[in-house]
């Protein structure tokens, strides 16, 4: 399982996100998360912390969503899946070696990383009646 995140900084650029946030529309919020790689069967966490958004080189102190990344074929072939998700989805050692050759900056063989890979903490699943955007007003 590959853990990933999306910053609210980035999500504000996604069509429908601002509206979902303003109206506390959890279904629309989760649709956006799914379309951007979240496997909702594992849940997700909304955190307020210092992090680096995907679309900005500048650190952002604000909300982000942590989740386990989807592993279905459609996501893996979308071009948006993380390298970790692609590697985790493969049992083919030759593919792992090929991917390693594409990213020599790690200083580790991908095979070694797979052997010692820690499983991500399973995020909590939010109660369907819970206001998932409740912390936004406090943080803003």
First to last CA, the chain: 32
Give buried/exposed letters for 92-111 (b at 16+ CB in 10 A, else e).
eeeebeeebeeeeeeeeebe
Q: Is residue 68's pLDDT more than 90?
A: yes
What's the Cα-to-Cα distance from 42 to each of 27, 47, 137, 138, rounded to whole Å? 16, 16, 26, 26
Rounded CA gap, 42 and 59, in Å?
27
Of the candidates 37, 11, 40, which has an alpha carbon nearest to the alpha carbon of residue 20?
A: 11
> Residue range 61-77: average pLDDT?
94
Q: What share of the chain in percent tops pLDDT 70?
A: 71
Of the candidates 43, 34, 39, 47, which has an alpha carbon nearest to the alpha carbon of residue 85?
A: 39
pTM over 0.85: no
> Residue range 37-42: average pLDDT?
96
């Amino acid at each position: 399982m590959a853990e990933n995140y999306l910053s609210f900084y980035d999500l504000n650029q996604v069509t429908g996100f601002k509206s979902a946030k303003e109206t506390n529309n959890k279904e629309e919020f989760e649709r956006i998360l799914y379309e951007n790689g979240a496997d909702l069967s594992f849940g997700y966490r909304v955190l307020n912390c210092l992090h680096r958004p995907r679309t900005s080189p500048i650190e952002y102190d604000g909300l982000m969503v942590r989740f386990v990344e989807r592993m279905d074929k459609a996501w893996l072939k979308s071009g948006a899946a993380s390298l970790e998700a692609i590697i985790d989805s493969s049992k083919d050692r030759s593919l792992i070696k090929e991917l390693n050759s594409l990213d020599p900056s790690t200083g580790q063989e991908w095979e070694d990383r797979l052997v010692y890979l820690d499983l991500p903490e399973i995020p909590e699943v939010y109660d369907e009646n819970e206001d998932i955007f409740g912390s936004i007003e406090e943080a803003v």
